[in-house]
Structure 1
Amino acid sequence: MDYTKTMKRGENVIHYRDTYACIRLDYLQDNVETLYQKVRKPLMAIIKANAYGHGYQQVANILKDNPHISMFGVATLKEAIDLRKIGIQQDILVLGAIPIEDLDLVIHYDITLSLFSKEYMAEIQKLYHHHKPVKVHIKIDTGMNRIGLKSKAEFEDILACCQNSMFQVDGVFTHFATADDEMQNDAYEQQIQMFYDIIGQHSFRYIHCQNSAAMMYHQDDRSNLARIGIAMYGVDPSGEECQALKQVMSLYTRVSMIKQVKKGERIGYGLTYTALEDEYIATLPIGYADGLIRANQGREVYIEGHYYPIVGRVCMDQMMVKVDQNVHLHDRVEIFGEHITLARMAKELSTIPYEIVCLVSERVERIYKK
C-alpha cells in the first residue's frame, strides 16, 4: 500500500482527529483593513509564536500581497528565516534578542535586528565581517523594563556609534505597558512622551510605538508605522468583547461517546465530580495536550444550540461534559468561537485571549477558510 498519497473522501481531505481549529483568513484580511482605516499608515504584521497559534505560513502568505503590510515582526531568528524560506520579501524585524553567533544568518537572510543595548551592539561589532550592513531598529525602554535603552544619552551614544558602514538604522521603537487600560492612561502618556523626548528631532524610515492597543485607543501622529498583533486576529487587546473586529480562530471537537451514569457515580481523574442524579456524560477527544488546560473544568462548551458544563478533570487527550438527550454521537462541539468568544473564555479562566490561542498545540489541525 502506498502511504505517501493524499487520502481523500470525495472532495475533502480525511482528517485524522475530530479536534480542529478553524481559521478564517477572510476575517484576518477584514481586520487588517479595519485597523488600517483607523490609523492610515503602513502596518507591521506581528506573526510571532506561529502567528499567535493561527499558523505563520498561512497568515504570512495571505498578507504578503496586502498593500497595507510593509513589514513582519517576529520573536526569534528561526521565525524570520522561516518567513524568508516561504518567499516573504518584506523587511522582517526580530523584536527580541538573537544568539549573536547567528549573525551570519541575519546577513544572509536580510533580517532586521532590534538594537537594545551598548553591550549587544559590541557583541555584533565583534563578530561582524561582512560587506553588507546589519539592519537595525533601535529599541527604547520607556517603562516596560524589559529590553531597550533607558535614556537620551544612551540613545545618542548608540546612534553615533551607528554612523559607519556596519549598521543601517532603519527604525526606532518602544512598547507600551498599559495602552489597553484606560485606568492607567497616565502611564501611557508618560511612556509616549519619554519616547519622543529621547528620539528628539531625529528622523527615521520607521518610527513605531503603536501596538494593537495604542492603535485602537490612542492617537499618535508622529509614528509612521503601526504594529498589529492580537487585534489582527480579531481580539480586543483589552480582553473585552469587540464588535469592530472578527475573531479569526474557532476551536471545535466532536462527541466521541455518550454514556449514562447513575446518581452518585464519580467522573475522571481524582473523582472530582459526583453525579447528583442519573446523568448523560459525553466524552470529547480534546485535552490539555491540545492546549485546553485543566482549569477549564467547570466551564461550558456549546453543542447544537445549548451550553453544557465540563465535569471532572480535563485529561491529556479527552474530557467529559454533562449533557442531555439533545446531544448525539458525533455532534460538533464549540470550545470557543461564535457562541463562546475568546474574551469570555479568558475572563472565565482569569487570563488573556493571547494565552488561549497561543496554547492551542501543533497537534490540533488548522483548517483554513477564505
Structure 2
Amino acid sequence: MAKILLNKENLLYNFGVISKQTGSVEKVAVVLKDNAYGHGLLEIATMASEFGIKKAVVKSIEEALVIEKLFDDILILAQKDIHTYSHTFHIALNSLDAIKNLPENINVHIKVDTGMHRNGVMPEELETAILGLLEKNIKITGVFTHHKNSDELTTDFYWQKSVFKGVKENVKTICEKLSLAIPAFHSCNSAALFRTTDFDEDFARVGIATYGYLDNAGVFDFPVLKPVMSLWASRLATRELKKGQSVGYGGTFTASEDMTVSTYDLGYGDGFLRLNERTAYTTPKGYKVLGRVSMDNLSLNTKDEDVCIFDDVHVLAKLHDTITYEITTTLSPFIKKEIV
C-alpha cells in the first residue's frame, strides 16, 4: 500500500531552526492548513504540540476542531460561516463586509491589505473595522498582514514592512483612544521570517519551512532545512519486458533491451501528478518512471517490494514547473501516514 513517511527528527530539527529565528518557541505559529500542506493535519499538529508550540493556523473550523485540544490559540484564515466556536479559536476578518456575518463574543484577527490586494481591510478602514467589531462585542485579539514577495528579490518586502509598521502604530493609537487591549501583531510567513533580523513581532506564521522547504533559499542564503515527507509505493505486479515491447498508456516507453518492469500502487488519482513522459524522473534509489503515470499506478525498472518515490520534492517541482507547496498539497489525504 502506498504510504507517506513523516520524519519526526527532521520536523523537530526544522522547529528548532525556526524557533531560534523567532527568538523562542512561544513566537512560532505552525501553519497546518490544507492537511498540513499534505503531510497530515493531526500527525504534524501532535508533533508540533510535543515540541512546545502553542499556536496554530488553519483554513477552516473543520480543521480547527481536529486539533482543538493541542493548542492554546488557533487562527482560522478562511471561514465565513461560524457554525461552532471555541475560546481557542480566532477568526480572520478578511473584509469590512464580513463583519455583519460574524456572531457576537468571538475572537477576531483583523487582516490588513498592505499591498498584496487579495484579502484584508485597507489601512484607512482600520478604525471603521474596529468600531464595527466592538458593536458586536467581538474581541480583537490580533492584527496581521501577508507578504506577497518575501521569497523574491524585490523591494516589495521592505515596502510592505513599512506599511505594516504604520498599521501597527495606528492600531495602538486607536486602542489607546478606545481603552482597548493592544492586539497581537504578526506579518511574517516562512520566507519573511528568515529575511528578518531581530524579529520583534508577537509571532510568525510558519508554513513551508516547517516541512523542510524555502523556495529561492539560495538567493537569500536561508538556513538548510530538512524535508519531513517521503512518499513510498508498493509493488503490484512484475513482468519481463522484451526488447521492443512498450509499457503503459500510449506505449510511450519502449524497452531498448530485455528488462524487468514492475507496477506500483501510486498514480495521479493519489495526487502524484502525471509526468510528461518526455521528461525523465528518477527515484532517490535510481529507478526510472517508465512511460505515463496512470490514475492508480506507475511503472518502474525494478522489482523491489517497496520504493521511495521521493524524499525531497524540489526535483518534481522543477519538472512540473511549479513550487514545492503544490507537489505536497496535491497528495491525497487518504494515503496512509506513518511517523518514523
Q: What TM-score bracket applies, with the shorter chain setting the length?
A: 0.7 to 0.9
The one of 189, 199, 213 equivalent to 2:158 is 189
CA RMSD of aligned residues (A): 2.3
For residue 266 of structure 1, what is the aligned residue in structure 2?
A: 246
| 2:45 aligned partner, one-letter code | A
Question: 1:300 aligned to 2:281?
Answer: yes
1:201 shift after superposition: 4.6
For residue 175 of structure 2, what is the aligned residue in structure 1?
A: none
- Contact preservation (8 Å) 2:194, 2:222: no
For residue 7 of structure 1, what is the aligned residue in structure 2?
A: none
For residue 309 of structure 1, what is the aligned residue in structure 2?
A: 288
- After superposition, what is the alpha-carbon deviation per residue over 1:321-345, rounded to whole angstroms, capped at 9, x for unaligned? 2x3xxx4442x322111xxx21222
1:315 shift after superposition: 0.8
For residue 244 of structure 1, what is the aligned residue in structure 2?
A: 224
Where does the alignment leave 5 or more consecutive residues of structure 1 unmatched? 1-16
SS in 1 for 2:197: coil
- Once residues 134 and 344 of structure 1 are traced to their aligned partners in structure 2, the CA distance between those partners, rounded to angstroms, is 44
1:122 shift after superposition: 2.0
| 1:207 aligned partner, one-letter code | F
For residue 224 of structure 1, what is the aligned residue in structure 2?
A: 202
- For residues 201-216 of structure 1, what are the structure 2 equivalents within 5 Å? 201-203=170-172, 204-216=182-194
SS in 2 for 1:302: coil
The one of 45, 56, 63 equivalent to 1:79 is 63
For residue 348 of structure 1, what is the aligned residue in structure 2?
A: 319
Give the 3 Å change call, closer, same or farther, for CA 318–165 of structure 1 in structure 2. closer
For residue 335 of structure 1, what is the aligned residue in structure 2?
A: 309
1:45 shift after superposition: 0.9
For residue 79 of structure 2, what is the aligned residue in structure 1?
A: 97
- Once residues 366 and 163 of structure 1 are traced to their aligned partners in structure 2, the CA distance between those partners, rounded to angstroms, is 44
Q: TM-score, normalised by structure 2?
A: 0.88
1:153 shift after superposition: 2.1
The one of 15, 21, 31 equivalent to 1:46 is 31
SS in 2 for 1:64: helix
For residue 31 of structure 1, what is the aligned residue in structure 2?
A: 14
- For residues 156-167 of structure 1, what are the structure 2 equivalents within 5 Å? 156-164=127-135, 166-167=137-138
1:65 shift after superposition: 4.2
| 2:121 aligned partner, one-letter code | L
Query: Sequence identity, in percent?
Result: 29
| 2:133 aligned partner, one-letter code | C
Where does the alignment leave 5 or more consecutive residues of structure 2 unmatched? 173-181
- Once residues 265 and 51 of structure 2 are traced to their aligned partners in structure 1, the CA distance between those partners, rounded to angstroms, is 37
- Contact preservation (8 Å) 2:31, 2:207: yes
| 1:345 aligned partner, one-letter code | L
The one of 30, 42, 64 equivalent to 1:57 is 42
1:138 shift after superposition: 0.5
For residue 179 of structure 2, what is the aligned residue in structure 1?
A: none
Judge which range, 218-227 or 236-245, deviates more. Answer: 236-245
Give the 3 Å change call, closer, same or farther, for CA 310–221 of structure 1 in structure 2. closer
Moved over 4 A (4+): 239-243
| 1:52 aligned partner, one-letter code | Y
For residue 269 of structure 2, what is the aligned residue in structure 1?
A: 289
SS in 1 for 2:287: strand
- Once residues 333 and 308 of structure 1 are traced to their aligned partners in structure 2, the CA distance between those partners, rounded to angstroms, is 9
- After superposition, what is the alpha-carbon deviation per residue over 1:162-197, rounded to whole angstroms, capped at 9, x for unaligned? 345611111110111110112x2x111121212222
Aligned residue pairs, count: 326
| 1:175 aligned partner, one-letter code | H
1:276 shift after superposition: 3.1
